[in-house]
Amino acid sequence: MSLVNFAAREITCKLVYYGPGRSGKTTNLQYIHDRVPEARRGRMVSLATKTDRTLFFDFLPLDLGAISGFTTRFQLYTVPGQVYYNATRRLVLQGADGVVFVVDSQARRFDDNVESLQNLQENLLDQGVDIRQLPVILQYNKQDLPRDLVLSPAELDDALNFRDVPSFGADALTGRGVFETLKALSSRVLHRLTDSGVSG
Amino acid sequence: MSAGTIRMPTFDRYVPGPMGRVALTAARAVAEAGRPPFNPLLMIGVGGRGKTHLLHATEAMARQIDPTRSAIYRSAREVAADGPEDHEPNLLLIDDVQDLIDTRGFQRTLADRLEGRAQQGLATVLTMDRSPGEVRGFDQRLARLLVSGLVTELDVPTSDDRLSILQSLPAERPLLPEVLEAVALQVGENVKDMLAAYHRLAALQAVSKDPIDLPQATVLLDGDELHAEVERSEGALDESVIVAGEAVRLERTSIDTTSPADEFGDFLSEVVASVADQVDRWRERVGEAILRWGGEGYRTTRLEHLLSEEFPQDPDSVLRQYQEDIRVLQELEASSVSVDPDAENHAVFRDPDDLAAARKFLGQTQLGGTTVPGPSSEYRLVDFIEGNATRAAIHAARRLLEEIPPPSPIVIIGPSGTGKTHLLHACGNALAERSGEIVALVSVNELVSAEDDRLIGLGHATALLIDDVDRLVESPARQRELLAAIDEVIRAERPLLLSSARPLDQLTDIDARILSRLGSGLVIELETPDRELRTRLLRRLLDPHESEPAVIDALAERPAPSVRALQGMVNRVLNEAQRQGGSVTAALVRQVLDAPVPSSPKSRANRSGLISPILAEARLREKVIERWPVIEERLLEDLR
């Protein structure tokens, strides 16, 4: 991963939204897409099936312009959540600089979250990436649903966040927590990218 | 950070009031001109009038017009905290000078600096929220200096201007015109407040089905009601809720208007801060390194130079290399001290930009004043003729000279007279031309018979070249000594070049350890000169005599086992021509070379009698003489 290219004066971050099917990854991207001034965003590419589920992946490039002399680009991807699209997931995951794991907070979807989280870890490991070394943020989505249907962020933290990564409650449809999540991940990715500078 | 500054401030985006136009024009003039007619430029205006925006716009435009011109924006507090810059920037932009009110000492420093900059013709632009005279207790000299150039005032844009600001903002779903107008007319005095109100409304409208009308906007902006009921479009209903089988009435529609209105702007400003923090962090690291190594007496010129650059290519690798060079210096120093305690803290070990000098110093220390045999200066690499037979060897020699670390060892194999010695000496000379190199060139041929201790210290040479390695066969004692030297040079990754008349696998009597060291390197064969090489060589040898092409052809068509043999042929022809008093012709060449060669009894004694005349000639002129058959003959030879 070469995020900061001093020679070309470029910073490129690839951020991947991961999680079980129907957890709201594409919704996250759509919300961001709608809030970004037109000049700053590329076309959001969404390859969806007829039933509006992500079959391949969504891709949203953000061109943030020249920051401190560096052309800064963010590339946001989602993976298809359905279990049987693992090949695509691995492809999208390649070279990711950071991952947002979008959790479906509904209690009845809990097992899907666990399965997807394990799948993330395995896929990263196959690419030689230790999940502990990669910036990961947990987003507990759908917190707007009635209390008796969802687990609270505290409960989900207990159950899923054993690595103690930053986590955010969210409601991607209204946008609550979407930018908080993105900001947290960006900050972690950006702070990691040059920390390895001299020692590495 | 306000929305106004997040979107890369430019002059075009600044909407001035009637008086602000002067400030705008003046700032633009500073950005455009290397030496503005007024210096400094002071812009006065209360918060929200766009002071920071104008400074950033000036900085951006100055850089855009002339990237080599350094333009630096700093808040006054940063200027005070940072202390003096190493290099005064061409354009210095200082925001909120009134913040210096508590730092009287620094006010004087700033006054000195402004004066100095003005004398050098360097432009300075400053902002304050009130005029210097109104700041009680401000340093009088600074106050005078601040108003010595051009003082401009930033005022409130007219309502028309305010409206045009709002209309120029990008919006997916623009607010209703009457709402925009209300925002422009009613909200706050400064532009920041107006923009904040606008973004709040825009964010609400983005998630609501119907556009926000005037009464709604008024309610929202009055702050009486922070939560507004906004119907969501039905298409956005979460399908998972329906799946749950319950007709859940979503109560998500209360939207917290206190959340940041411009989420993207907010995100962007955080990214900007992170990136600036990260890409500039190298300065911190370099600064630390300068303090650390400078404190230990090391020269830090390289790092200081790096710091003075705005955007160096790869600061971290420069820093890494610098630290690596320091490490090398420390090693060299330690090695020197182990030989000579007086070498400690010698100045030569404090300059990472001249490692060669330190290496040379170490070499001299280790040699303890003795000298090592060096290359003979008459051989040069340019004289070595390149052809198919020699190309590989020349290429290897160049690699030895150019690559760091060099491929090592390089072993040149070739029959006698093909130019091994020439190549070794030529490489040795090229190496010796570099600063700090101690080049040792020894011929095993000489060593075998010599009884001195010339091998001592060879391992400390910065380059070791050994001629005629195959001759080591004759001296097991020398083999051990050379092995030690070879090992040392290989370990230090210094150039090691050897020659052998015979392939390594035929040198069965040489210590297997030496052979394995040599075999692990680059083994190159110098081949018997082919016709192409012979022709080139002949052109050089015969050139002064203006020989006709036929002469060169006649000579070139004859096979020669080595360059030296070819030289012998030419010499014989030239001698004969001289003796006859005529010029060199092709006929003469044939006459001389086809004639039986006067052969020595010695060589004939060892051979079958079927000797090629050319080969015999070559043997005669051999530098490396075959082992004498009997002692009597040797005495005889010595007597001659």
Answer whether residue B226 shows pLDDT above 70.
Answer: no
Higher pLDDT, A113 or B399: A113
Answer whether residue B628 shows pLDDT above 70.
Answer: no
Residue B182: phi and psi, rounded to 5, are -60, -40
Sign of CA dihedral A34, A40, A43, A48: negative
pLDDT on residue B314: 76
Residues of chain A with pLDDT > 90: what percent? 48
Whether A171 contacts chain B with CB within 8 A = yes
The domain over range B381-525 is classified in CATH as 3.40.50.300: yes
Q: Kindly state which CATH superfamily the domain A4-193 is placed in.
A: P-loop containing nucleotide triphosphate hydrolases (3.40.50.300)
Specify the DSSP element, H or E, that contains B498. strand B496-500
CATH class of B3-155: alpha beta
Please write the tens of the pLDDT for every residue from B58-90.
Answer: 888 888 888 888 888 888 888 888 777 778 888
- Half-sphere exposure of B43 toward its Cβ, with a 13 Å CA cutoff? 33
Residues of chain A with pLDDT > 70: what percent? 86
Please write the tens of the pLDDT for every residue from A136-192.
Answer: 999 999 999 998 999 999 999 999 998 899 999 999 999 999 999 999 999 888 887
Whether A7 contacts chain B with CB within 8 A = yes
Beta strand B410-413 with B439-443 is unpaired
Structure token digits, residue B355: 């490692």
Model confidence at A24, pLDDT cuts 50, 70, 90, reads very high
In sequence order, what E strands does A70-130 have? Answer: 70-78, 98-104
Measured between alpha carbons, how far is B439 from B546 in angstroms, rounded to an integer? 39
Which range among A32-46, B339-353, B454-468, B537-551 has the greatest average pLDDT? B339-353
Measured between alpha carbons, how far is B1 from A180 in angstroms, rounded to an integer? 17
Please write the tens of the pLDDT for every residue from B352-395.
Answer: 888 888 887 877 777 665 556 777 777 887 777 777 778 888 88
Share the mean pLDDT of chain A. 84
Residue of A15, A63, A67, A181 to mutate, interface with B, max B Cβ within 10 Å: A67
Share the mean pLDDT of chain B. 74
Model confidence at B456, pLDDT cuts 50, 70, 90, reads low
Model confidence at B189, pLDDT cuts 50, 70, 90, reads low
Contact B275 A68 (CB under 8 A): yes
Please write the tens of the pLDDT for every residue from A71-98.
Answer: 888 989 888 887 777 887 888 888 899 9
Model confidence at B623, pLDDT cuts 50, 70, 90, reads very low
B242: which chain A residues are within 8 Å (Cβ-Cβ)? none
Model confidence at B627, pLDDT cuts 50, 70, 90, reads very low
Q: Report domain extents, chain A.
A: 4-193
Closest Cα in chain B to A183: B267
ipTM above 0.90, yes or no: no
Answer whether residue A112 shows pLDDT above 80.
Answer: yes
Please write the tens of the pLDDT for every residue from B462-499.
Answer: 788 888 888 877 777 778 777 878 888 888 788 888 88
Higher pLDDT, A186 or B580: A186
Measured between alpha carbons, how far is B204 from A132 in angstroms, rounded to an integer? 39
Answer whether residue A114 shows pLDDT above 90.
Answer: yes
Model confidence at A52, pLDDT cuts 50, 70, 90, reads low
DSSP 3-state percent helix, strand, coil across chain A (nearest 5): 35, 30, 35
pLDDT on residue B451: 59
Please write the tens of the pLDDT for every residue from B271-315.
Answer: 887 777 776 677 778 888 888 888 888 888 888 888 777 667 778
pLDDT on residue B423: 86
Closest Cα in chain A to B199: A35
Across-strand partners of B93? Answer: B73, B125
Answer whether residue B185 shows pLDDT above 70.
Answer: yes
Q: How buried is residue B12: exposed, middle or buried, by Cβ count under 10 Å (0-12/13-18/19+)?
A: exposed
Please write the tens of the pLDDT for every residue from B39-61.
Answer: 888 998 887 778 888 898 888 88
pLDDT on residue B50: 82
Q: Report domain extents, chain B.
A: 3-155, 182-263, 282-366, 381-525, 531-639
The predicted model scores a pTM of 0.39
From the list B172, B270, B316, which residue is nearest A183 (CB)? B270
What is the rounded average pLDDT of the residues B96-121? 85
B282: which chain A residues are within 8 Å (Cβ-Cβ)? 194, 197
**One fold for both B3-155 and B381-525?**
yes
Higher pLDDT, B610 or B218: B218
Residue of B230, B275, B306, B313 to mutate, interface with A, max A Cβ within 10 Å: B275
pLDDT on residue B365: 75
Distance from CA of A21 to the nearest CA of B (A): 11
Contact A64 B271 (CB under 8 A): yes
Q: Which of B347-351, B551-555, B619-623 has the lowest mean pLDDT?
A: B619-623
B240: which chain A residues are within 8 Å (Cβ-Cβ)? 22, 104, 106, 142, 145
Residue of B268, B314, B317, B323 to mutate, interface with A, max A Cβ within 10 Å: B268
Integer CA distances (angstroms), B208 to A173, B211, B307, B606, in order: 12, 7, 52, 110
Length of chain A in terms of residues written: 200
From the list A35, A65, A191, which residue is nearest B274 (CB)? A191
